[in-house]
Structure formats: C-alpha cells, structure tokens
Amino acid sequence: MALIVQKYGGSSVADAERIRNVAKHIAEAWDEGNQMVVVISAMGDTTDNLIELAYNVTEHPDSRELDVLLSTGEIVSSTLLAIALKSMGYEAISLSGAQAGIRTDASFSRARILKIDPKRVLKELKRGKIVIVAGFQGITEEMDTTTLGRGGSDTTAVALAVALKAEMCQIYTDVEGVYTADPRLIPEAKKLSEIGYEEMLELASYGAKVMHPRAVELGELFNMPIWVASSFTHSPGTLIHGGASMEIRNKARAVAYDLNVAKITVVGVPDRPGIAAAIFEPLAQAGISIDTIVQNASIENITDLTFTVAKGDLDKAMKVVEPIAKSIGARECAADAKLGKVSVIGTGMQNAPGYAVRMFSALSQEGINIHLITTSEIRITCIIDEARVKDAVRTLHQAFELEEEE
Ligand code: ADP
Ligand code: ASP
Ligand code: MG
C-alpha cells in the first residue's frame, strides 16, 4: 500500500461544491488502495480577507495574533473536507498543523519548519483514516501558532511527504501542471510533462507561483518527487523530479515574470572599501531582503549603487538607506516602484552562447527598455517597466519558440 501526500490549493476548495469535488478526488485515490494524507489551503480568498480584517482594526496588527487569525482559514477548509468525506462514508480526520506535529521557529508570518513529529498522523493512518492536515501553519516550542508565509501549504505538503517517507507529493491546483509560461497570460503555453528541481526552483523563485520555491527546495534536498496536476480534470500533469535536469536540452524551457519589484539607486557613492557593507547591513537588520545588486564601474572614485526590493518593502528600505547615504557622502537616493522582472529559464542555456542576445533583441524589437540584468547559470532576468512585463513575456515566449516545446 503506497502512502501519498496530496495538497489542494485555495481555488480548488473555494466553495462547498468544490470541497465535495475534492473529497471525490481523494476518495478515488483511496479506493485505488493508497494511504492518504491530504494538506489543504484556506478556501478561495480567505487568507486575503482575514489580513484585510486585521488591518481594518489597526495599521500594525500584532504578529502573534495575526498568525493565529490566519491559521483559522485552513482549519475551516480542513474540517469541511473531513465532514464531506465522512458524509460519503469514508473514515477521515482533520488535524491542525500543531496536531500534525509541524514544529517551527517563532518567526511569525514567515516561520520555518524545524522538524515534523508525525506520531499522530501515523496513528490515524494505522487506524485506517484519511488524514486531512491544515496547511500553512505550525507550532513553536512555546505552543504558539505560526504561519509559514503566503503560499506555504505547498511547503507543508512536501515537508510532510518527506517526514512520512511518502511515495510522492501531489500538488493539485487550478491549472493542469507546470507550463512554459503562466497559461493565464499565454494561452499557447505548453504543459511540461516533467521538469528538474533546479529549473523549477528558478521558475518558482522568479514568479511562477504554481509551486512555492521553499517546497521545491525541500523536494530537491530530500529527492521527493512532486506531481503537479489539476484538481478539476484528470489530464496528466507535470512531474518535478531529479532525473529530468540530467537531460541537456539545447533550449530554454520557460518564461517567468514577477510584478513585485522596486528599485533604489544610491547616486554618487564614494568608491571605497566598506561602503556596500555600510548600506546593506542595516537593511538586513531591518529584515529587508535584497534581490538584485548592481554597482557601476566608478569614475573618479564615484559610483552608483542600485538594488531591488519587494514593493511592500520600498518605503521601509528608503527610510533605512536615506540617512546612511547622507552620512557616507552620497549625492542622493532615487526610488522606482513601478518595475517588474521577466526571466528566461533552462538548463540547456548553461554554457551555451546566444541566449542573452536573443532575449535582449526580442525585448528591443518590442521597444522594451532594460533597467537591470541578472543571471544565474540557467537563467537570464531583465528588470523592466512594470507596464511592459506582460508584453515582454509574450514576445520572449515566441522568440524562444516555447509553444513548440516537447
Ligand atoms: P493554489 O491556490 O492551488 O496554490 P496558485 O494560485 O498558488 O494555486 O498557483 C497556480 C497559479 O500559478 C495558476 O493559476 C497560474 O496562473 C500560475 N502560474 C504562474 N506561472 C505558471 C506556470 N509556468 N505554469 C503553471 N501555472 C503558472
Ligand atoms: N492560505 C495561505 C495563503 O493564501 C497558504 C496557501 O494557500 O498556501 O497564502
Ligand atoms: Mg499556491
């Protein structure tokens, strides 16, 4: 008997009818003779609505209480799903993250899983139950409820699959798998039958929200195969696994985009040792993640330093950087909040010349100006105006002939 961990996302359980549909989906896999642990997200926009509620009460909600509040979304969906399964005659039980043994650190709203103690889950499996686990949440040593960050149910699912030594982790969502680009934006995008962890991690980290990057990272670390498919249809999905990245394809695999980019430029910075540390250390202390950093070659020992942050962090970052810029004698700080990034990804691009030029010419033919460029071995990213990001995805999907994939 195989043990399978399944996860259903928010849109798959958005209303009572969809919950019944998911219950049927689970029952089918159970009837095939599998042991099942099912991780569930909050219904539809529940998490957004709960956040809004808290911010309507006060501008700065307490972080501990906010996590307890947000965790209730997944409690509602997990109990409703267990109710649906029981009404169909299946033995099911819902467990909170705490009951499922998901132990985290105490960083509210972005807690990390430290370990999983799956005693209770194993006990219920032994009793012949389908175990429904509330995703996105855990518990600290002090028994405080935490949440794992937006989209965190994917992480719960893969972590549980690893802890339970499941055969695979199945992620059911509102699209049929991982595509060469977001299928909602590019209708011609092709579904990939398989993709390696490395490519998937770059895709997820650079905006393809079909999988959370932390979940992909965990999958890679423990070599847990992840199957992404639709909860609404039965068409074959995408297998994320270790074998795929071994295939060297002389091709880009996918395009990702992210609209959540803001840029800060510190203009006229004296070029001497210690300046970068003086700027980035206080930003790190303020808990602000920096993405891209570019320093221009200096002219007469004066340089410009540019870096990007998430839009929500821009004001906070400017408040940190402006006084430092003044104190080190920089001319000024300039902010741009209306940016986005577009990335072309593929292991086939490794050590192969020509991909960067192809990307830059495609963008220039569309009249799209590039602000910054960053690369990894298997990715090229351009930071461009937010308003042109979607055009850029369309033009790059064509330029790299991704509609002809597979
Ligand atoms: P869930 O609620 O199931 O976790 P998400 O909304 O987090 O679902 O992720 C699914 C969405 O990811 C899809 O609706 C799709 O618009 C988006 N997406 C972005 N890039 C891709 C891609 N390359 N392949 C598939 N889906 C993608
Ligand atoms: N409900 C949480 C969110 O909306 C977690 C998840 O859906 O994965 O971010
Ligand atoms: Mg998601």
Euclidean distance between CA atoms 384 and 312, whole angstroms: 18
Where do the DSSP E strands lie in 136-245? Answer: 137-139, 145-147, 168-173, 194-196, 226-230, 238-241
Would you state the pLDDT for residue 129? 98
Burial class (CB in 10 A: 0-12, 13-18, 19+), 161: buried
Q: In this structure, which residue's CA is closest to atom 5 in ligand 2?
A: 151
**CA of 258, nearest ligand number:** 1
State residue 250's pLDDT score: 65
Ligand closest to the CA atom of residue 42: 2
Query: What is residue 129's DSSP assignment?
Result: P
pLDDT at 275: 86
> Could you tell me if the CB of 10 is within 6 A of ligand 2?
yes
CA dist., res. 208 & res. 15, Å (int): 25
Please give the structure tokens belonging to residue 400: 């790299």
Distance from the CA of 21 to the center of ligand 1, in angstroms? Answer: 20
Q: Which two tokens stand for residue 119?
A: 């005693």
Give the model's pLDDT for residue 248.
54
What CA–CA distance (Å, rounded) separates 18 from 376? Answer: 40
Decide if 377 contacts 396 (C-beta within 8 A).
no
Nearest CA to ligand 2 atom 9: 150
> Are residues 227 and 170 in contact, defined by beta-carbon separation less than 8 angstroms?
yes
* Cβ pair 154, 92 in contact under 8 A: no
Asked if residues 368 and 388 have their Cβ atoms less than 8 Å apart, the reply is yes
- Kindly give, in sequence order, each residue whose CB lies less than 8 Å from that of residue 331, ignoring residues fewer than 6 positions away: 267, 268
Ligand 1 centroid vs 184 CA: distance in angstroms? 9
- Nearest CA, atom 4, ligand 2: 47
Buried b (16+ CB within 10 A) or exposed e, 241-259: beebbeeeeebbbbbbbbe
Q: Name the token pair of 128.
A: 């012949």
169 C-alpha to center of ligand 3: Å? 14
Q: Is the CB of 10 under 6 A from ligand 1?
A: yes
Beta bridge mates, 300: none
* Structure-derived torsion over alpha carbons of residues 32, 34, 36, 40, reported in degrees to the nearest 10: -40
- Rounded CA-CA distance 1/290 in Å is 46
How far does residue 348's CA lie from ligand 1's centre (Å)?
Answer: 24
- What phi and psi, each to the nearest 5 degrees, are found at residue 202? -65, -45
Ligand at minimal distance from the CA of 47 is: 2
Query: In this structure, what are the phi and psi dihedrals at residue 60, rounded to the nearest 5 degrees?
Result: -125, 80
The answer to whether the CB of 284 falls within 8 A of the CB of 266 is no
d(CA 400, CA 5): 35
Of ligand 2's listed atoms, the one at least distance from the Cα of 152 is 8
- Alpha-carbon distance of 272 to 294, in angstroms, equals 16
CA of 210 from ligand 3 middle (Å) equals: 6
- Structure letter (DSSP) for residue 299: B
Residue 178 CB–ligand 1 contact under 6 Å: yes
Given strand 168-173, what is the order of strands in its sheet?
A: 92-95, 130-134, 35-40, 3-8, 168-173, 226-230, 238-241, 194-196
Q: Count the Cβ atoms, other than its own, within 10 Å of residue 77.
A: 27
Is 9's C-beta closer than 6 angstroms to any atom of ligand 1?
A: yes
Does the CB atom of residue 150 touch ligand 2 within 6 A? yes
* Tens of each residue's pLDDT in the chain, 406 residues: 799 999 999 999 999 999 999 999 999 999 999 999 999 999 999 999 999 999 999 999 999 999 999 999 999 999 999 999 999 999 999 999 999 999 999 999 999 999 999 999 999 999 999 999 999 999 999 999 999 999 999 999 999 999 999 999 999 999 999 999 999 999 999 999 999 999 999 999 999 999 999 999 999 999 999 999 999 988 999 999 997 655 556 689 999 999 999 999 999 998 888 888 999 999 999 989 998 898 888 788 889 999 999 999 999 999 999 999 999 989 999 999 999 999 999 988 887 778 999 999 999 999 999 999 999 999 999 999 999 999 999 999 999 999 885 5
Ligand 3 centroid to residue 81 C-alpha, Å: 18
Ligand 2 centroid from CA 152, angstroms? 6
Nearest to 137 by CA among 116, 162, 119, 167: 116
The atom of ligand 2 lying closest to the CA of 153 is 8
CA-231 nearest atom, ligand 1: 3
Does 13 sit in the ligand 2 pocket, CB within 6 Å? no
Ligand 1 lined by 208 (C-beta under 6 Å):
yes
What domains can be seen in the chain, in order of their start residue?
3-174 (3.40.1160.10), 255-404 (3.30.2130.10)
